[in-house]
Amino acid sequence: MAGVFLFYIGGESMPKVTVEMDMMTEKFKAKPKAISTHAEALAAELESIDNASTCDECGALVHETTNVYNGDSVVERIMHCQECGNSSVEMETNC
């Protein structure tokens, strides 16, 4: 009976009535997919917060970052703070 819910309605003075609802409709199937999609987006955003740099001037999280490449390697990272407008450059060191 996966996806089927049974409800019993009634009491001592009323006859019992059984209502069967099939919950596996197309709309019901779409709901877990929507939850999964939003959970993935939330996980990605939480990871970006964990990995975000902070502004040297105001301490706000910096979400706007531009990587500068030399071939396949990142050689510098330019960060722009949306709170105060400060921009800073981090040079990558290759050992």
**Looking at the structure, do residues 60 and 37 belong to the same domain, yes or no?**
no
Residues 42 and 57 in one domain: no
DSSP state of 59: -
Asked whether residue 5 falls in the same domain as residue 31, the answer is yes
**CA-to-CA separations, 46 to 7, 42, 73, in angstroms, rounded:** 40, 6, 25
Tokens 């939330």 sit on residue: 42
Q: The domain containing residue 34 runs over which residues? A: 1-51
Q: What is the pTM of this model?
A: 0.41
Predicted confidence (pLDDT) per residue in 27-86, tens digit: 777 877 888 888 888 888 888 777 778 888 998 888 788 889 998 888 998 888 888 999
Q: How far is CA 49 from the centre of its chain?
A: 11
58 and 91 belong to one structural domain? yes
pLDDT at residue 95, as a whole number: 47
pLDDT tens digits, 34-51: 888 888 888 888 887 777
CA distance 33 to 61: 31
Identify the residue with better confidence: 18 or 26.
Answer: 26
Same domain, 21 and 39: yes
**Domains of the chain: total:** 2
CB 60 within 8 A of CB 54: yes
Could you tell me if 46 and 11 lie in one domain?
Answer: yes
